[in-house]
Amino acid sequence: MQIIPFLQNSKWLSRRKIVSLIQNGQIFLNNQKIESYKSELKDRDILTIIDEEWNKENITISEKSESPKWKLILFNKPKWYVVSKSDPHNATIYELLPEEFKNRYYIGRLDKDSRGLVLLTNTPSLVHQFEHPKFQIEKEYLIQLSTPFREWDRQKVKSWIIDEWEQLKFLDIQPTKEPLTYKVILNEWKKRHIRRVIKKLWYNLIDLKRIKEAQYTLPKDLPEWEWKFV
């Protein structure tokens, strides 16, 4: 198994983070610095990551590393449903899912007015690996605005803006082929993160759809309300 997909699957690091660690000489395989992004990992290899957030971590590679015991569910959430186990005032996504999924944990919220990818798992520790800020998991969204997004605002949101005493920023925002539709990339998220930034800059947000979380992309052939195992 190659180094990048292994760390994406086992440590839930973004590709950007892994590339940065390799470029900075912070990953070692059997005590030898890794210099290739295509380095192959074999059974019983020792992978060492030296990082200011983790200090030093040794990972022993085994054949079982490629076959995790947990399962993920990709769910295409429609609007008007909340991502919550229960809500006295709103319908939840669990009302749309099979009864046997009631004990699944959702990974990251998506507000009532938004739609798109929601991941569910049967492993609580996986939720932590996705949601803890130190892992810098990237998420991608498509947003539709009523007016074009200005280039000077793009530079502003890549730095940060202040809203309600919090610093908010985008990793990037890029135009798509669709008119007035943009791809937003985050590696941090706060409550109603995108909506607050857009509102602060005096744009009108028409639609918000999550299309990717970590390496998991919402399948184009998966209709709203539907789900699939990965």
Instruction: Look at the chain and count its residues.
Output: 230
Q: How far is CA 217 from the centre of its chain?
A: 10
Q: What amino acid occupies position 155?
A: Q
Position 224 scores a pLDDT of 96
Q: Where is pLDDT greater, at 62 or 170?
A: 170
Contact of 206 with 219, CB cutoff 8 Å = no
Q: Where is pLDDT greater, at 209 or 3?
A: 209
Position 67 scores a pLDDT of 44
Mean pLDDT of 14-29: 85
Whether 57 and 76 share a structural domain: no
Per the structure, how many domains does the chain have? 3
Contact of 8 with 15, CB cutoff 8 Å = yes
Structural tokens at position 208? 């918000």
Q: What is the pLDDT of residues 190-208, one digit of tens each?
A: 889 999 999 999 999 999 9
Local confidence band at 210 (pLDDT 50, 70, 90 cut-offs): very high
- Tell me the CB-side half-sphere exposure of residue 124, using CA atoms within 13 A: 1
Q: What is the pLDDT of residues 95-117, one digit of tens each?
A: 999 888 888 889 988 999 999 99
Whether 46 and 156 share a structural domain: no
Whether 61 and 116 share a structural domain: no
Q: What is the pLDDT of residues 64-75, one digit of tens each?
A: 554 445 578 999
Range of the domain at 79: 72-132+219-229
Position 171 scores a pLDDT of 94
Instruction: Choose one of 50, 66, 82: the last residue of a domain.
Output: 66
Whether 120 and 178 share a structural domain: no
CATH no. for residue 142?
A: 3.30.70.1560
Whether 13 and 54 share a structural domain: yes
Position 93 scores a pLDDT of 96
Please enumerate in sequence order all residues whose Cβ is within 8 A of that of 67, keeping only pairs 6 or more positions apart, or say none. Answer: none
Q: What is the pLDDT of residues 35-54, one digit of tens each?
A: 888 888 888 888 888 876 55
Say yes or no to pLDDT of 76 above 60: yes
Local confidence band at 176 (pLDDT 50, 70, 90 cut-offs): very high
Share of the chain above pLDDT 70, in %: 90
